[in-house]
A and B are shown apart, each in its own frame.
Chain A
Amino acid sequence: IQLTQSPFSLSASVGDRVTMSCRASQSIRTSLNWYQLKPGKAPKLLISAASSLQGGVPSRFSGSGSGTDFTLTISSLQLDDFGTYYCQQSYSDVLTFGGGTTVDIK
């Protein structure tokens, strides 16, 4: 199952609402997860099952979608939110990631 993320990168200001997309090549129901990756740090699971916020993750992060189209939203961008965001499907036993969306702060 292929995952296509868009945009490839975005630049936004603190306080902006940011959205990014992940599209699957076939229906994966809600088996879609989001990670944040920063240089030199362990990847962080933000959201599982399309919309379930992980413990300790700020409530400004939210996920939505089902089937083939998914969205990660940051309601009010903070300085600490820079990094690359990856979606990953856990519908199939062959696990795959999207290509990532890089967020930088203006």
Chain B
Amino acid sequence: DAKTTQPTSMDCAEGRAANLPCNHSTISGNEYVYWYRQIHSQGPQYIIHGLKNNETNEMASLIITEDRKSSTLILPHATLRDTAVYYCIVRVNSNYQLIWGAGTKLIIKP
């Protein structure tokens, strides 16, 4: 599976959009991009995933570049409860393995 690179930490003001980048320059054509987050002392929580088209759900939007080498997770109106570690993972759809990196620690400030 392709590896991902994420910033170690980011800050965002409450109410603003939080944009979390992820580089996956070695991604293969059949690998999906997944985003999970882990709020302190809780289990990881699925956010969104996509293959090549942009995706949106009730939690977030996922923007994947045309060459698929990078993506951005967007939390449109960040709240204090969005403070968490955010993991970007690429995974072949037939492979059960999720390879977890260190993620991005996102801190939402009032």
Q: Do A and B bind each other?
A: no
A: residues with CB less than 8 A from B are: none
